[in-house]
Structure 1
Amino acid sequence: MADSKREIERKYEATGTTRLPDLGRVAGVAAVEHRGVMELDAVYYDTEDFRLAAGSLTLRRRTGGDDAGWHLKLPVASGIRDEIGAPLSDTLPPALAALIRSRVRDAAVVPVVRLRSARDVHLLSGADGVPLAELSVDEVRAERLHGGRRSTAWTEIEVELADDGDPAFLDAVEKRLRKGGIRPSASPSKLSRALAETAPKRERRREPVAPPGTAGDHVLAYVRRQVTAIVALDPAVRRGLPDSVHRMRVATRRLRSALRTYRKVLDRSVTGPVGDELKWLAGELGVDRDQEVLDARLLARLDALPRTLVLGPVRARLKVWSVARRSGSRRRTVAVLDGARYLALLHALDTLLADPPLLPAAAAPPGKVLARAVHKDHRRLAARIGRAAALPPGPDRDLALHDARKAAKRARYAAEAARPALGKPARKSAKRLKAVQSVLGDHQDSVVARDALRVLAVQAHAAGEASFTWGLLYGREEATARARERELPGVWAKASRAEIRP
């Protein structure tokens, strides 16, 4: 069974003659305990083309020390990683294999580097005896196991914050180390340093990446960012981390929107099937997310009511209804990520980036090509808002406003994608369109909430419970929808003034 912890650490350069300063003089440190030297032996795994390393992930099997086993480290921010551990075994544990699937796909993971370290450990504690951090001096010997057999060695200092520690404490330690002439390491991890120092000369020479120049360059750069986000968020979705499903769904929608908007740059006969699969994935991811948003909205509305207006077991019924609708949704999401259809989509995205179906317009300067595409999406939104405004209040207008919301989202994404090329006008347009999307989104959420409240009222009535509160909440949602409709013309007028014209 895999377990997880947040690892916050910093690394520093050292040599065999480096002397540690007096760590007892670090602010907040009351005691420094020398824990002795431990021998660690770790084999790091990756695909033959180093896909994990390219994403700053590390996968190892380590013996020695007090945490022998398999460890997968996922980047969170600079100096911060989530470490997922599993018991020592001869083969890669399935739980860890699932977390790297979006990157390795169907490729095998093989041993790439072996690191043997002599770790001299010092525990820094506060006045209350609570551990603050662990500082170790590591004598590292690295051996390349894939792509030749070369070796290297170095000494480094590693400072890892204790569980639930204050990250500011690492600043105090660093200040003391710098006074002793010790500087931060240029490598973010032992593995990255080992790979860099044992790489063949041909691998060390990297061609500089040219900035986007053509319309095709800009569109592909945006597409690549969304694909990278989908792949990177896969482990977080599997782990059930907060907001991960939403962020992955947004990346999926942004990507699909770009493929549709920039059809003059990328051939739709090729990208169309990919867009259909992205729509499928967004729909699957939305099952749990939509219910989560609806639950939060109904609870907020209920919390805002005076107690005297909450009649009957309203909260209990809402909880039972929500649990019934969400039952198994996370298992279903993980099953989708484990499925062949999702894996095929990832392969299709790889192919799209490796051999993009560029049209003649892709070779043109980005200004006019991207501006025309953004303008076209803006005009589509204008038509849908006009169509909705011409309808009387009711279900038909609600549906038309929902269509307008989807058009607003697409127009906003188009402007965001064009921002590196078009600059401030695209940024301003995207910001104004986001406001339109927000108003239309709140309106649509009220429509969905009213449907749910009607179902809940019927269920309460059938059970002999008072349905007054459900009706009251329904009325408030109806008033919210009308307020958003009144707000829309003003917000849309501002967005229209920021329209990008080719």
Structure 2
Amino acid sequence: MSEPTHSVEVERKYDVEADTVLPDWMRLPRVTAVGAPELRPLDATYFDTADLALARSAIALRRRTGGPDEGWHVKTSAADGRHEWHWPLDAPSDEIVVPDALVQALAPYAAPPFLPLARIRNARTAYALLDASGALVAEVVDDRVTGRAERTGAEDSWREWEVELGPAAPEDVAAFFAAADELVAAAGGRPATSGSKLQRVLSA
């Protein structure tokens, strides 16, 4: 398996109702165009040890199919955003096993076996928010999510929006997200009550 790629996500999440209408994202700072909707059916399985060692270290481990970054992901949170390491998908098989490369990467925090923790399926629609030069200011995703906690059988479904900064984001990040908060609130949305989809499923 190849070496992982690393990225930092700076984003804001919002809870919205099933029938909430998307706002005019061009009202956000620097945004002059909104790209065509891109449909991304996503299917993710999250893993942890039996005693939730990864969760105690605020680490999420998942295998996701669908979308431009399908593969294995390890995610952690820090002051500057959510850090994500990405490995490509392994060869298809009847049984999903955490690859050795990820086991080694997670060794300081937990030891296998890593067992299924939750499955989250998401009908995602993504929109690129562009500036006057066509550069990506942010990406907005409209997620319709169904999740199941594999160890308890609890299920939940909901809709949420995410606004994630792109390479051409304004320098004043606080002002950009304040404008996003105001725009979403006017549409009927509100800041997300859970920090992640996994947290929401596990608390259902």
Q: State the TM-score, normalizing by the size of structure 2.
A: 0.88
Aligned to 2:147: 142
Percentage of identical aligned residues:
37
Aligned to 1:109: 114
How far apart, CA to CA, are the structure 1 residues paired with 2:28 and 2:104? 42
Asked if 1:182 is matched to 2:184, the reply is no
**Aligned letter for 2:177?**
L
How far apart, CA to CA, are the structure 2 residues paired with 1:164 and 1:45? 34
Q: CA deviation at 1:13?
A: 0.6
How far apart, CA to CA, are the structure 2 residues paired with 1:96 and 1:8? 24
Deviation per CA, 1:67-114: give whole Å up to 9, x if none. 110010011127x1110000101532333323322221x341111100
Q: CA deviation at 1:47?
A: 1.0
**Aligned letter for 2:195?**
P
Aligned to 1:38: 40
Aligned to 1:100: 106
2:169 to 151, 162, 165: 165
1:130 to 135, 147, 159: 135
Report the secondary structure of 1:142's partner residue: strand
Aligned to 2:87: 86
Question: Contact between 1:121 and 1:134, CA under 8 Å: does it hold in 2?
Answer: yes
Which runs of no fewer than 5 residues in structure 2 stay unpaired?
A: 91-95
Report the secondary structure of 2:108's partner residue: helix
Question: Contact between 2:138 and 2:165, CA under 8 Å: does it hold in 1?
Answer: yes
How far apart, CA to CA, are the structure 2 residues paired with 1:47 and 1:138? 28
RMSD between aligned residues: 1.7
Aligned to 1:250: none
How far apart, CA to CA, are the structure 2 residues paired with 1:4 and 1:163? 15
- Structure scoring higher RCO (CA < 8 A, sep ≥ 6) equals 2
Question: Contact between 1:53 and 1:192, CA under 8 Å: does it hold in 2?
Answer: no
Question: Contact between 1:73 and 1:84, CA under 8 Å: does it hold in 2?
Answer: yes
Aligned to 2:49: 47
Question: Contact between 1:44 and 1:58, CA under 8 Å: does it hold in 2?
Answer: yes
Bigger CA radius of gyration = 1
Report the secondary structure of 1:24's partner residue: helix
1:69 to 64, 68, 71: 71
**Aligned letter for 1:145?**
E
Question: Contact between 2:127 and 2:140, CA under 8 Å: does it hold in 1?
Answer: yes
Report the secondary structure of 1:159's partner residue: strand
Report the secondary structure of 1:103's partner residue: coil
Question: Contact between 1:2 and 1:96, CA under 8 Å: does it hold in 2?
Answer: no
Aligned to 2:60: 58
User: Are residues 114 and 97 of structure 1, via their aligned partners in 2, closer, same or farther at CA, if it must alter by over 3 Å?
Assistant: same
Q: CA deviation at 1:124?
A: 0.5
Pairwise mapping of residues 316-465 of structure 1 onto structure 2 (< 5 A)? none
Question: Contact between 2:6 and 2:85, CA under 8 Å: does it hold in 1?
Answer: yes
Aligned to 2:26: 24
How far apart, CA to CA, are the structure 2 residues paired with 1:53 and 1:99? 15
**Aligned letter for 1:101?**
A
Aligned to 1:118: 123
Q: State the TM-score, normalizing by the size of structure 1.
A: 0.37
**Aligned letter for 1:174?**
D
Relative to total residues, which structure has the larger strand share, 1 or 2? 2
How far apart, CA to CA, are the structure 1 residues paired with 2:105 and 2:193? 28
Q: CA deviation at 1:24?
A: 1.4
User: Are residues 97 and 170 of structure 1, via their aligned partners in 2, closer, same or farther at CA, if it must alter by over 3 Å?
Assistant: farther
User: Are residues 52 and 154 of structure 1, via their aligned partners in 2, closer, same or farther at CA, if it must alter by over 3 Å?
Assistant: same
Asked if 1:154 is matched to 2:154, the reply is no
How far apart, CA to CA, are the structure 1 residues paired with 2:179 and 2:119? 33
Aligned to 2:202: 195
Question: Contact between 2:131 and 2:168, CA under 8 Å: does it hold in 1?
Answer: no
